[in-house]
Structure 1
Amino acid sequence: MDRAAFRSHFPVTGHWAFLDHAAVAPLPDVAVAALHEYGASLAANGIAAVRDWTHRVREVRELARRLVNAPSADDVFFVPSTTHGIGVIAEGFPWRSGDNVVFPADEYPANQYPWLNLAGRGVEARRVPTRAGRVLPDDLRAAVDGRTRLLAVSAVQFATGFRADLDALGELCRERGVFFFVDAIQALGAFPIDVQRSPIDALAADGHKWMLGPEGAGFGYVRREWVDRLHPIGVGAFSVARPLEFSTIDFTLKPHAGRWEGGALNVPGITAFGASLELLLNAGVPALQARVLELTDYLSEKATAAGWDVYSSRRPGEASGIVSLTVPGVPAEAVVAACRAAGVIVNARAGRVRVSPHGYNNEGEIDRFVAAVRGMTKDQ
């Protein structure tokens, strides 16, 4: 990866040391240009340009397929949020009263509430405690029994940065006949996920974090063998096999994930999202992973040397782009505010400071963060 060339696509570097990609990432210039291009085309042509943008949606679907190595672009469907993608599975799954779903207790709310919402259908939600922020496969295994139908987990935990072993969890699900769902929003774009290598049955992720796209444009994946076993939700004119024959009612659903795209898509968002995906794929996600881990290792070393407590696991295979830390005696929100005043963007989650650099960041920006925190602690 040409680091300088990759970094040149991020205007945010001219104003901020932006270290908060686990929240809402800044757009690269290519995504901004794509939004302008779409707007100009729509203003000048209206529906006369629809074929151009339909073609672009197909191209972006293929980019999303490549990112997760799905067997076909038809296994991918666009979503306006990770929550929507989770809902496709939670509401469409063939539950029976007495079933249960297993997930870590510290999951982001979007990967808890849809499962908790199933109580009225007789489905038990089993929240498995984590251990110092770590999600242990053996703990999840112990919670699975003969009525467990689904295991849901984030690829990376939003508050601690713990990265799950998706291969091991997928194998656990295969052994026990359990559907494996992954909330991938805190990994995709910075860490590879391969749905053919890891036995993942479905995943979902909005594009506005590590995939560097605008909010409201992301994608989901469903393994083809499950398409007809899930009850389709959000069905509309574009869910059917002959979507453009508006005067013919033929309720034959598409035989793939496209059935979950019932209505008009967020075409401008998808267009910009595609530009960001192209940038990431051209840089190479494995190279981005290596760079992100370099930066988080550097940050963790600096933080430890300063006497701060790094909560996130730094074990091989468990570290991610998120470093959760505490500054003794200083509230996390105060650290965030002081950093903002110093031109550094970080965040706070679960009472700790959360720092999340991407592959275009550099050590100098980590140093700015460290200096900003040291500056505030000297004043106290």
Structure 2
Amino acid sequence: MTSLEEFRNQMSITKSHIYFNHAGIGPISDSTLQLLENLSKSQRLGNQGIDWEPFMTWHGSVRKEISHLINCSSEEVALTNSTATGISHILSSMNWIDSKERGLILNDLEFSSNSFAYQQISKKFKIPLHIIQSIKEDGIEKLSLDDFRSKMETVPISLIGISHVQFQNGFRIDLEKLTKIAHEYDVKVLVDAMQSIGALNVDVKKLGVDFLATGGFKWCLGPLSTGFIYIKEKLLDSLEPVFVGPLSDKNPTEFLHRPFNSHDSALKFQYTFNFQASGLGEAIRLLNSVSIAKIETKIISLIEYAIEQFKNQISGIMIISPTGKEGSGILTIKFPEKVNLEETEKKLSKKHKIAISVRAGGLRFSPHAYNTEDEIDKVVSVIKNII
């Protein structure tokens, strides 16, 4: 078991920056960097420098780490290179010809690039696309489960696309309740978990979700161009992937033209080699060694501490992120109108080496479990002086 202190020691970013932008791009650990450097060096000699036997099998160990993280079988996991790619793979593998009378559900809080695939499916197959409108409670944007139920009661639906955690203000929907409601109407649920996996305890069996896609380069602390999908085992036979390659086949080293012999597992979605994914495996191994339950507890405690400190020390602010069961690792705060958010973010980054983002008309803070309360104190103090 890795302690939080040992976890922090693995993150060299802490020596130069206060990094509160894991909802943007996460830094990689020293062990992940070392592994990627070794792999890159091995290719200097081309085919002579690569040990092909472990290279052909390493993705199995990566999938095992992922399955441990989200509580599923590794046979239900395939590696991709982003959330959007994973969503597109899953959507394009479905039989829309026979179900085009049943619509899709999205909502108006979704990250744009992840909603594009649904829009394209809707356009290509003439499938109705329904957008659930968010509501505001005390200035905080949320989604109501009742609105999803009402839509499924009034029109036929085949699939809900939903982010577990919304990227702007960190609203966390109750996925377990949503999937139970959806399944009452024979509706499947495809989850964008980019802002939850690596920060929160995402147990796909407990949540009951049908499909899940995520990138590995935010809270998972993996390299860019990494990610994975989860597909519930009983649904694998119903999907026919369009994007396939050597690793999708049961005999990936038989190169001559022949009939495609697809894997029975989610591996049929894993179409190509990706050196970077080995780095994702190391990153998730580190998270697993710390324990995702411990990570979530620490992140939520940091968010609660940050809210308290901002409220106590800076007047005129408005917290637009939910807390409690609807909260996550994202804290977005609106400041008085006189505050230039973009300039504030630039000053924090360039002068003070503090990494955050501007989102939803506020400053978005997203600390990880290796961050500390002392770092929060410094960030609050610096912002107080700037504004």
Q: TM-score, normalised by structure 2?
A: 0.92
SS of the aligned residue for 1:196 comes to helix
Moved more, 11-20 or 44-53: 44-53
Aligned partner of 1:251 among 260, 263, 275? 260
Partner residue in 2 for 1:322: 330
Partner residue in 2 for 1:40: 41
Q: Distance in 1 between matches of 2:90 and 2:102?
A: 15
Partner letter of residue 116 of structure 2? Y
Partner residue in 1 for 2:67: 65
* 1:6 corresponds to 2:10: no
Q: How does 1:1-380 map to 2 (within 5 A)?
A: 2-43=3-44, 46=47, 48-70=50-72, 72-95=73-96, 96-117=99-120, 118-132=122-136, 133-145=141-153, 146-247=155-256, 249-262=258-271, 264-267=272-275, 269-305=276-312, 306-307=314-315, 308-314=317-323, 316-329=324-337, 330-340=339-349, 341-377=351-387
Moved more, 47-56 or 323-332: 47-56
Q: Distance in 2 between matches of 1:46 and 1:36?
A: 17
Q: Return the offset for 1:69.
A: 1.0
Q: Return the offset for 1:105.
A: 1.0
Q: Distance in 1 between matches of 2:178 and 2:270?
A: 29
Q: Return the offset for 1:170.
A: 1.2
Q: Return the offset for 1:275.
A: 1.1
Call closer, same or farther: CA 1:278–1:12 in 2, change over 3 Å: same
Partner letter of residue 274 of structure 1? G
SS of the aligned residue for 2:142 comes to coil
Q: Distance in 2 between matches of 1:59 and 1:237?
A: 18
Q: Distance in 2 between matches of 1:169 and 1:97?
A: 23
Q: Return the offset for 1:243.
A: 2.6
SS of the aligned residue for 1:317 comes to helix
Q: Return the offset for 1:160.
A: 0.8
Q: Distance in 2 between matches of 1:334 and 1:371?
A: 17
Q: Return the offset for 1:252.
A: 2.8
Instruction: Give unpaired runs (5+ residues) of structure 2.
Output: none
Q: Distance in 2 between matches of 1:84 and 1:218?
A: 9
Q: Return the offset for 1:236.
A: 2.5
RMSD between superposed Cα atoms in Å: 1.6
Q: Return the offset for 1:90.
A: 2.0
Task: Say if 1:338 and 1:372, in contact at 8 Å, map to a contact too.
Answer: no
Q: Distance in 1 between matches of 2:298 and 2:180?
A: 29
Q: TM-score, normalised by structure 1?
A: 0.94
Q: Return the offset for 1:374.
A: 0.8
Q: Distance in 2 between matches of 1:331 and 1:369?
A: 17
Q: Return the offset for 1:44.
A: 5.2
SS of the aligned residue for 1:358 comes to coil
SS of the aligned residue for 2:161 comes to strand
Q: Distance in 1 between matches of 2:245 and 2:274?
A: 15
SS of the aligned residue for 1:348 comes to strand
Moved more, 79-88 or 101-110: 101-110
Task: Say if 1:240 and 1:250, in contact at 8 Å, map to a contact too.
Answer: no
Moved more, 172-181 or 116-125: 116-125
Task: Say if 1:191 and 1:286, in contact at 8 Å, map to a contact too.
Answer: yes
